[in-house]
Amino acid sequence: MAIEGDVMDQVRAVLNASSNDHALQVLVSVLAEVRSLRLCRDELSEIQERAARQADQLERALDTIATLEARVARGETNPSTTKVLRLKRNPMSTSSSSDPSTAESEAQTDPDQRDVRLTLEINELRAEVDAWKKRRNTLMQVYARETELFRDDLLQMLGYRIEYLAHQREYRLRSMFAEPGSDDDDDNVLLFRRARDGSIQVIETRFITELPASTLDSLHTSSSIPVFLAHVTLAMWRQRSCPS
């Protein structure tokens, strides 16, 4: 305001002492100087305000740093930025667990509570065993049913009911054209055994010795069990269809 007052005084003096043209030129120059001074004053005000804000921010930052340093000195950490490694065998927890008073209190647990826990565990184990037995029985029933269906299919396709004797590692074949008899009757069955070299051997039975000579010759000449079984099937079919 003092600068503007001095400028206005200069303008009045120039207007009183000079001609009109010269006064106008001086007035224009003075007004330009006034505008420049105003811009400088406004810019200076903005700089001062910015400096005040930065000083305030700096002060708050210093306060925050001091607070964090104090927390670190007390051992506090930020879990989002700091990973704390804990000992698997913490000496404090080990010492507390080995405290005689703690062990004594555990030893003095109510026996009824221990019995209840044991009873619950036993019941859970029994339930698991029962469930396992049910699953096993179901699987055995399914296996037996599927095995019987498989044997029936083989009987219809190949003409033989096949049984595997696991304890002897033998296969017992009974032809569908054989004379009716009990399943344990060896007079109408063929026996085969798996040798150590993986081959299948024919076991001599009473039924084989009673076969026609041509049927036995097919086994020796062809060295093929399928060919031999085909001859046996054909011979038994003829015997049953055209009895002598």
Residue 101's pLDDT is 54
Q: Are 183 and 174 in contact (CB under 8 A)?
A: yes
pLDDT tens string, the chain, 244 residues long: the values are 454 455 556 555 655 555 566 656 656 666 767 677 777 777 777 788 888 887 777 777 777 766 666 665 655 555 555 554 554 555 555 554 455 555 455 555 567 787 788 788 888 888 888 888 898 999 999 999 999 999 999 999 999 999 989 888 899 999 998 877 655 566 789 999 988 888 899 998 888 888 888 888 998 899 899 999 999 999 889 888 876 6
CA dist 115 → 34, 66, 107, 211 (Å):
101, 59, 14, 73
**Cα–Cα distance, 35 to 204 (Å, whole number):** 133
> Which segments of the chain does DSSP mark as H helices, in order?
2-17, 20-73, 91-97, 100-107, 111-158, 206-209, 213-222, 225-241
Backbone angles phi, psi at 137, to 5 degrees: -65, -40
What does the alpha-carbon distance between residue 207 and residue 226 come to, in Å, rounded to a whole number? 17
Tell me if 233 sits within 8 A of 177, measured CB to CB.
yes
Closest CA to 172 of 151, 156, 142, 153: 151
Contact between 191 and 182 under an 8 Å Cβ cutoff? The reply is no
| Distance of alpha carbon 235 from alpha carbon 217, whole angstroms | 13
Q: Looking at domain 159-241, does it have CATH number 3.90.1170.50?
A: no
The pLDDT score that the predictor gives to residue 161 is 92
Cβ atoms 211, 236 nearer than 8 A: no
